[in-house]
């Protein structure tokens, strides 16, 4: 039997918004399995959210670089937010984006690529020595189309092509590139705000869909619903779920009376040709990285030797 710690209860509370005792019971019932405990709470109707993104802790910048039918996103992390306002660091992120546009999204290949007489990895090391903070190229992504455009949107932008959140979206079409670029930017803004999990239902992780079905079915089974009724409820619930997490089915933030797919279809008149959303990438700075929490007062006391004084 796994010991249920206060830290585990705290983490589950932050993920779900459920009460402390409910979280403790959920972890006890699921032998400490965090994801199973989230599902247990949802089945009981006690979770306020299906999932909650990990607390964003890392600093730095997201960079986007476009070249017509191709685009890249890079995330370069630093220790503090001050660095994001440093012109040398901003230049470093832009340079890394330009390199990624040529080499592709493989982080190791980007770091090994030459910029002048030195590699990107050496350039990062030089910036660390000059600025005085640890930095790292965390990840990169690329999108391209045969015909059409790759558009972008940077949220909380600090300079051209740099921000705290970045989105690139690829549109396939033989239509007018200026109209495509405008449409692409609107869709990229939507993606930044709505955070879809996939382009459509086919792009979702089958395990995630299975879990969603199980949660829905178990919730209503516990209410005594008949199996044939549960089947219909689950089918309806999945349709609602797809509208929440699939880009093409989401309500378009610029006109919530239509879906993104409908908005794209209507835009084809201005573009002058059919338009297909071929893919998207959304990076939020530091997502999934947890910064170690510390007790600042305790650190100050320790540094001053107060903790060694007799009570």
- In tens, the pLDDT along 254-286 reads 999 999 999 999 999 999 999 999 999 999 998
84 and 146 fall within a common domain: yes
Structure tokens at 76: 């370069």
Q: Minimal CA–CA distance to 153: which of 266, 254, 71?
A: 71
Q: Report, in this order, helix, strand and coil percent for the chain, each rounded to 5.
A: 50, 20, 30
158 and 119 fall within a common domain: yes
Residue 190 lies in a domain: yes
177 and 81 fall within a common domain: yes
94 and 128 fall within a common domain: yes
Residue 305 lies in a domain: no
The H-assigned helical ranges of the chain are 6-16, 20-29, 34-43, 87-103, 107-112, 120-131, 177-194, 206-221, 227-245, 260-271, 296-303
28 and 82 fall within a common domain: no
In the chain, % of residues over pLDDT 70: 88
State the residue for tokens 């709470």: 41
Structure tokens at 260: 């993104």
138 and 263 fall within a common domain: yes
Average pLDDT over residues 182-200: 97
- In tens, the pLDDT along 208-228 reads 999 988 888 888 888 888 888
Average pLDDT over residues 152-165: 95
Strands of the 135-144 sheet, one edge to the other: 135-144, 70-78, 59-67, 162-163
85 and 127 fall within a common domain: yes
171 and 272 fall within a common domain: yes
Q: Structurally, how many domains does the chain consist of?
A: 2
- In tens, the pLDDT along 9-66 reads 888 887 776 777 888 889 999 999 998 888 888 777 665 444 433 333 379 999 999 9
Residue 241 lies in a domain: no
The domain of 35 spans: 1-52
Q: What pLDDT does 301 receive?
A: 54
Judge whether residue 188 has pLDDT over 80.
yes
Residue 244 lies in a domain: no
Q: Minimal CA–CA distance to 138: which of 234, 215, 30, 58?
A: 58
136 and 35 fall within a common domain: no
Structure tokens at 283: 């990076």
Q: What pLDDT does 57 receive?
A: 35
1 and 126 fall within a common domain: no
CATH code where residue 84 lies: 3.30.479.20
Q: What pLDDT does 306 receive?
A: 47
Q: What pLDDT does 114 receive?
A: 94
Question: Could you say which of 35, 52, 69 is where a domain stops?
Answer: 52
Model pTM score: 0.74
Q: Minimal CA–CA distance to 193: which of 261, 145, 260?
A: 260
157 and 103 fall within a common domain: yes
CATH code where residue 21 lies: 1.10.8.10
Q: What's the mean per-residue pLDDT of the chain?
A: 87
């Amino acid at each position: 039997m796994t010991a249920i710690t206060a830290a585990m209860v705290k983490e589950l509370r932050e993920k779900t918004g459920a009460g402390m005792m409910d979280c403790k019971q959920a972890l006890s019932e699921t032998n400490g399995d965090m994801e199973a405990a989230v599902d247990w709470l949802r089945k009981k109707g006690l979770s306020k959210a299906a999932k909650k993104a990990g607390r964003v802790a890392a600093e730095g910048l997201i960079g986007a670089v476009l070249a017509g039918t191709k685009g890249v996103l890079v995330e370069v992390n630093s220790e503090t937010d001050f660095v994001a306002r440093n012109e040398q660091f901003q230049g470093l992120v832009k340079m890394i984006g330009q390199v990624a546009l040529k080499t592709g999204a493989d982080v190791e290949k980007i770091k090994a690529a030459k910029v002048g007489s030195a590699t990107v990895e050496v350039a990062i090391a030089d910036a660390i020595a000059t600025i005085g903070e640890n930095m790292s190229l965390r990840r990169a992504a690329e999108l391209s189309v045969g015909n059409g455009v790759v558009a972008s949107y940077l949220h909380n932008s600090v300079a051209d092509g740099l921000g705290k959140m970045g989105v690139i979206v690829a549109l396939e079409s033989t239509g007018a590139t200026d109209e495509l670029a405008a449409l692409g930017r609107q869709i990229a803004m939507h993606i930044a705000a709505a955070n879809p999990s996939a382009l459509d239902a086919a792009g979702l992780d089958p395990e995630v869909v299975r879990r969603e079905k199980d949660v829905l079915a178990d919730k209503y089974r516990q209410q005594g619903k008949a199996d044939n009724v549960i089947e219909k409820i689950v089918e309806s619930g999945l349709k609602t779920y797809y509208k929440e997490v699939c880009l093409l089915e989401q309500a378009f933030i610029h006109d919530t009376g239509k879906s993104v797919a409908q908005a794209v279809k209507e835009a084809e008149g201005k573009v002058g040709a059919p338009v297909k959303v071929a893919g998207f990438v959304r990076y939020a700075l530091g997502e999934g990285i947890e910064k170690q929490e510390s007790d600042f007062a305790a650190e100050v006391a320790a540094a001053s030797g107060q903790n060694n004084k007799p009570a």
